[in-house]
């Protein structure tokens, strides 16, 4: 039976993190808190683990999971190109509730599903999530719920839906309370691949905790500064 570890207790945190690292290394699933909702995590570089994540949620390969990363430098390691507008957005909103879709590096040895060569990246604003990511590296993470159900905002909600499909549950308290949008609202997802073509634009795929107005304010600032060049980041 999977165990819930209370991260507010030093012993629970130490034991839970250790077992979560082991579970990820074995290709198993872990539930962890993020700043928006609870997430169901798997090793992003293990196709079997990613498939196990999709199966646990009742999803198909047509719904590939986003990838959570421990810091902004990982952005360049996983994305083939990073437009200046995206650099401004992550400088403003990371760590936080913004997920950015970019072309994935062709050299990456992973299989997240039917991504059309893209990857959705986010750096969460949650201590426990970042602590685990710093030790495991990028994780494929989708909301910790069954498809069609409400996203879990507590570890108990996640455990009720996912049960024994998860090896370790990390309890970080209620998720999503730091955003005006309220608990249960996911990250805002933007597709930035269009910015890599001349005259292309950024598209909001899903509205979430970061408002469209806040995103547009950053984009307007970049345009007004006149610093946008080719849109390609360092190789």
Query: Could you read off the pLDDT tens digit of each residue along the chain, which spans 235 residues?
Result: 689 999 999 999 999 999 999 999 999 999 999 999 999 999 999 999 999 999 999 999 999 999 999 999 999 999 999 999 999 999 999 999 999 999 999 999 899 999 999 999 999 999 999 999 999 999 999 999 999 999 999 999 999 999 999 999 999 999 999 898 777 899 999 999 999 998 899 999 999 999 999 999 999 999 888 754 444 433 2
Looking at residue 1, its pLDDT comes to: 67
Provide the pLDDT for residue 80.
96
Q: Both tokens of residue 63?
A: 């719904």
Q: Which residue has the tokens 């730091």?
A: 178
Q: Cα-flanking dihedrals φ and ψ of residue 226, to 5°?
A: 70, 25
**Cβ atoms of 5 and 13 closer than 8 Å:** yes
Helix (H, G, I), strand (E, B) or coil at 68: strand
């Amino acid at each position: 039976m999977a165990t819930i570890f209370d991260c507010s207790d030093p012993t629970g945190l130490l034991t839970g993190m250790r077992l979560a690292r082991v579970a990820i290394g074995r290709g198993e699933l872990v539930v962890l808190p993020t700043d928006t909702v609870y997430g169901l995590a798997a090793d992003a570089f293990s196709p079997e683990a990613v498939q196990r994540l999709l199966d646990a949620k009742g999803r198909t390969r047509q719904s590939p999971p986003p990838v959570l990363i421990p810091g902004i430098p990982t952005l360049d390691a996983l994305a083939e190109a990073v437009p200046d507008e995206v650099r401004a957005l992550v400088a403003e909103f990371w760590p936080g509730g913004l997920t950015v879709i970019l072309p994935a590096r062709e050299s990456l040895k992973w299989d997240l599903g039917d991504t059309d060569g893209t990857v959705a990246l986010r750096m969460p604003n949650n201590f426990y999530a970042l602590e685990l990511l710093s030790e495991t590296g990028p994780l494929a993470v989708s909301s910790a719920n069954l498809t069609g159900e409400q996203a879990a905002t507590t570890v108990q909600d996640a455990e009720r839906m996912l049960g024994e499909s998860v090896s370790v549950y990390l309890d970080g308290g209620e998720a999503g309370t730091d955003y005006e949008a309220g608990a249960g609202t996911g990250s805002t997802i933007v597709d930035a691949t269009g910015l890599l073509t001349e005259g292309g634009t950024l598209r909001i795929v899903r509205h979430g905790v970061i408002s469209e107005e806040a995103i547009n304010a950053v984009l307007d600032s970049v345009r007004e500064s006149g610093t946008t060049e080719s849109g390609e980041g360092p190789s």
